[in-house]
Amino acid sequence: MDGALDRNRSSLIALAVPTAFLGAFVVWPLAAVLARSFVGVGIGDIVDQLTSSGFRSVLLFTLGQALASVALTLVVGLPIAHVLARYRVRGAAALRALVVVPFVLPTVVVAAAFTALFNRLGLDLDRSFAAILGAHVFFNVAVVVRIVGGFWANLDRRETEAAMMLGASPFVAFRRITLPRLAPVIAGSSLVVFLFCFTSFGVILILGGPTRATLETDIYRFAVFRQEFDDAAVLAMVQLITVVALSIGAARFQRRQSLATRGRVRVSRVAIDSAKRRFHVGAVGLVAMAVIVAPMAALVEQSLRVGDGFGFSHYANLFERGPLLPVAPMTALGRSVMFAVGAAAIAAAVGLLGAIAITRGGRAGRMLEVGALVPLGVSAVTLGFGYLVGFAALDFRSSIWIVPIAHAVIGLPFVLAATVPAFRSIDGRLHEAAASLGADPATIRRRIDWPLVRTPLLTGAGFAAAVSIGEFGATSFLARGRSSFTAPMAVFRLLSQPGALLRGQALALSVVIGATVALLALVLERRRRDSVSLL
């Protein structure tokens, strides 16, 4: 009887804490945005704003750059996915890791990398549409390679081989057999890439400038610079509705992909044993190097360029505070790391309880699982603006803790993605056997559950920390003064001003941020694969 009461009490706490957290820091801010849109503005003003030529121009550009980015990302990503899925490539693991690195880099670092690349090539592409597209391809190619390539690697080739034995050319066999089976997965990955590009903020703010406005950047400019909260609220409402619809569509495609891959057996990869195959793989490798390696290499090279030579003076200047920044860049990086540790701790604590509630809370747990995915479908800019509006009357907004809490909200889905499968993999018979031997619920959790979920929990918390270090969208709304000034904000401020010294300092700081996040993500990715093999 006492054991049942203890389990019920534990389940109630596990459900109450993440529910209260999401209610306070997700539902309330988003509800405040919607309330500001309808109550503070009024239906007539909303209609006027949404039918204005300025709004149509911003919306069309937002949609246009996202669609063009998706198309180019598919052009670059699908050949890489094909090579990794079908051929035995030497160094394939390193190539997969290399493809993932851009995706985990902070957006301000990606923007800085392309700024350095254009300067290195002598191209005047700053504030251009081409710059935005190039950065989006660099950033999102991992989505196509991981989603489509993972499915492609498990696709049974027997139907294709039979068609070719009956006289079909490789192109016809691909078009008539392989492509129709890949189409739903390609569409799903395209929708995910479109979602990321539609909500892109740092890349467009830095590389696009004021003449390349999207919904995200206009929300930021209306709220932060103009203090026109009503207009920003209307844009945020449109952004929120669109992103939620896209997220629902992406979730449906993911469920279809899970059903499509269920029961498939991984097929062996073929050798690169002909000149035609060697040319194909080599050409794809060169494209991958040009798209992925070139911007990062240019970023490092330009950060070391001092006048006509090379040196580390830009890195040395990171320890000194310039006139544009409230603190030294390395101090800002230290603040980012501190926020990341706090965000990871909060996300881990809430995520652990949430995972328990999701796996053992019945219908309430399933509802919590859906609610916990909301931060993935809401842009950080909209979330940050929601905090600005929702907590305007509270002193809490001025607290330094609001930044790591916002980062924890963004990182919470990563923790749940790692811990929920770990809890679901635990055999219930282990609990029954331990209980029959006299173990109380606390002992069962400590001796059985914790050893199995510890590594996934730490992995998820590590990814939450990596996201926090580079987070820029929500932080740009919440940071106030020296105590909450982060490294991505320092990069943005340095790049927004002319001058070789400031630009070199921004590139050097971008290298440090990028190296920190990339190293953390690669270590965690390896731990994640190891933990999956153990569970």
pLDDT, one tens digit per residue, over 137-180 is: 998 998 888 888 878 877 777 777 777 777 777 777 777 777 88
Q: Does residue 104 contact residue 236 with C-beta atoms inside 8 Å? A: no
In degrees, rounded to 5, the angle at the alpha carbon of residue 533 between the alpha carbons of residues 530 and 535 is 110
SS3 content of the chain, % helix, strand, coil (to 5): 80, 0, 20
**CATH class for domain 1-31+318-535?**
mainly alpha
Helix (H) or strand (E) holding 247: helix 229-261
Res 2 pLDDT > 50: no
> Residue 83 in contact with residue 284, Cβ under 8 Å?
yes
Q: How far apart are CA 106 and CA 514, in angstroms?
A: 7
What is the CATH code for 52-88+105-275? 1.10.3720.10
Q: Is the pLDDT of residue 433 over 80?
A: no
User: Rounded to an integer, what distance in angstroms lies between the CA atom of residue 454 and that of residue 477?
Assistant: 34
Q: Is the pLDDT confidence value at 428 over 70? A: no
Mean pLDDT over 15-23 rounds to: 88
**Contact status, residue 317 vs residue 501, Cβ threshold 8 Å:** yes
Q: What pLDDT does residue 437 have? A: 67
Residue 221: pLDDT over 70: yes
Tell me: the pLDDT tens digits for 168-194?
A: 777 777 777 778 888 888 888 888 888
270-295: per-residue pLDDT in tens?
Answer: 777 778 778 878 888 888 888 888 88
Closest CA to 402 of 384, 380, 429, 421: 384
Q: What whole-number percentage of the chain has pLDDT above 90?
A: 11
Higher per-residue pLDDT: 532 or 302: 302
- Interval 319-368: pLDDT, tens: 988 788 889 999 999 999 999 999 999 999 999 888 888 887 677 777 77
pLDDT at 245 over 50: yes
CA dist., res. 170 & res. 164, Å (int) = 7
CA neighbor of 281 nearest in space, from 77, 84, 74, 72? 84
pLDDT of residue 376: 67
pLDDT at 498: 80
Q: Which residues contact 180 (CB under 8 A, 6 or more apart)?
A: none
State the pLDDT at residue 535.
34
pTM to 2 decimal places = 0.77
Asked if the model's pLDDT at residue 262 lies above 90, the reply is no
Q: Can you tell me the mean pLDDT for 119-133?
A: 80
Region 449-470: what's the mean pLDDT? 84
Specify the residue for token string 């957006």. Answer: 107
Beta bridge partners of 305: 310
- Write down the number of H helices and E strands in the chain: 27, 2
Where along the chain do the CATH 1.10.3720.10 domains lie?
Answer: 1-31+318-535, 52-88+105-275
